[in-house]
A and B are shown apart, each in its own frame.
Chain A
């Protein structure tokens, strides 16, 4: 007996050292390759351009005409773009910044502090800040003074008092009898936008300072001259010019503030308001006669020219004849070019050192080791041959490591959320956040960009999330319940099989599809229906968003409720029928009460899904910043604000940049207990939930 076993083992022992050597050598080679590969792959070879959304369409037009590794162009606002630009010389920061105003001294100082010692400024051309309305509006002419009086946070008292009062004007006619009788509603860019900076600097501040000169006892400080009113007459409408055009066409009484480019690109749809007798045209802007004309700049880090292959060509293209020449494609897009003779770029004096990315390398190596151990390791174990205990321990250890890392994932998630949140609450009181009812996170990335603190009362945002979830569940729950009852109570086998497959596939339909449906069809339909009933509804209403989120929830909810209905142990339902109960009586008296915990869990999971939904609400209700609190108004949710407020900057030491994380933390704090409750309910019931993704 022993002899037999021993002879079976001997050949293996004989081979073992050579085999181990081979495996070891292979591993070393693999690790070496892995150490190099990710760093190499993650080395950025394409240009990154970030900044002004006014210059964005121009940059896109230039970038798309280039071949080779395409550029990435991010429209985030001049302020945010320059802040990111000035974070350093590495590949994590953009190479080219687009700006609709000149770089400020403090921004230049930030660049210097971050090690960016050379920044070249190129004047791209001129642009105008225009006030536009949808075609057909009756508002054609405005004086700069009227504009300021319409938008400022405090104005001279129309009743004739000495001190200035919070802006009481609600109609244009109140400012000037010659103006039409329309409510004052102006959509404009947020505080991170250079367009907003230019509006304040060129239009509002001069008019304000002129007025202050005549009101010595105004009780209003000159440094607050650029503050805009927050009572709804001015609306922060995001960076997206296209979305703004759509809003204006939906709201004929409103005005929008944008660059000259979009006006030029939407000839039939928009009409410009002439200011102080000057109407915005290419000629009047180029000549500087239009009062709100401003220069457009490109900022380039010459040191990056060597590191990024396509950067030089890309930057040069802006000034090429094809782009900026008389019939150039940029001119056709509305640019008033600074020069038609091309521009020579300055070449850097010293090349950049290549970047090392140790963290990435280590991560990739670790992950690869785990996968190697697990995959081939398990395959080896599968074969019915004796294998060394070392291998078993190795594979077991790697599996443990994988689990530990995944557990650490939660810790990392929490850390990512907790650290900025803690920083945030050092500057903003929790009472103001949780109890405040005004949400306008106007805080800038630089203290001097916009005056005043933002208001960080999260309640309106939370209300928006709750509203969408409520509408969604009101639609989805009855339908899903009825449908699940039908499928599992009355329907035949064939229907049930088709139903199971159908709901599983339907649950996979991506949210963008529903978002598209909401934006293009449901939103306008709801607005039209409301209009027919005499109510006023925004095209991007919360009702529309909620309805579509409800449709999106249907498959998963129906599936889960079905599981709860089917999970009843034994033959309770059959017993009831056997006693002469109708199907409905069985469902009402026996099945539903027993399935109640499972149904409750399904409901809770649907609620958390609705609260966490981002894309549908984003597309349905837009990146609007004005929110009514009603179903028929456009609103915002926690998730939408997370996306809207995310700036690309890596510096998370600032209230504004910490905001998305704070909102994420808040969302997680709401969702986690609800999910825990659902899990408790599921444990109580007999349902083994299938992990519907």
Chain B
């Protein structure tokens, strides 16, 4: 798209402010996410991490500021613009949100068939390939409630990848899982990162953040409090709030 030597960020957030009624949860966020970057957002509950993530794909509306994805400004009240944007931005949820009345394969096939008008055989092929990629090829005809939490989350990842997004938003994707199932999901995410996917993760898995991310963002009371490479942030926290947060882990 661009031939200039300086690439534009994939996600460009400037001066974002969001209120719920009189309660301001995001107090002016400036953040740029480059292509192929893996950014982990950490912080206490209530710091605004998930809200920020949900603003990026339009699940939450913000009052002030500008948000641009892939060069296009986010226009939440424009259904066509949102449809375009959400094909570029995928999301994985803490509670998986698989469609219970469809099989695993149908879950993955549905959106490409509807939104991208992919013919059924191609959609099926794509679904089979993606399920194999997350290690669940043999579960194609199973129902979501027949799978474990970790398997369901991996299906959710395959479902999001089926839309071929530019960036994947992961909202505490392992927080609802039993500890022994966390590893299989993190492995899939790590593989995605290794394959060059742009990822923005809200997570409490500090070891994972340390290992996989290019940049860690620490949020506190609705603002980006500290930001930097994982080694610097975790070993040499600059602000007392981050020091306190890390010591409580």
Question: A and B from one assembly?
Answer: no
By a beta-carbon cutoff of 8 Å, the part of chain B in contact with chain A is: none
By a beta-carbon cutoff of 8 Å, the part of chain A in contact with chain B is: none
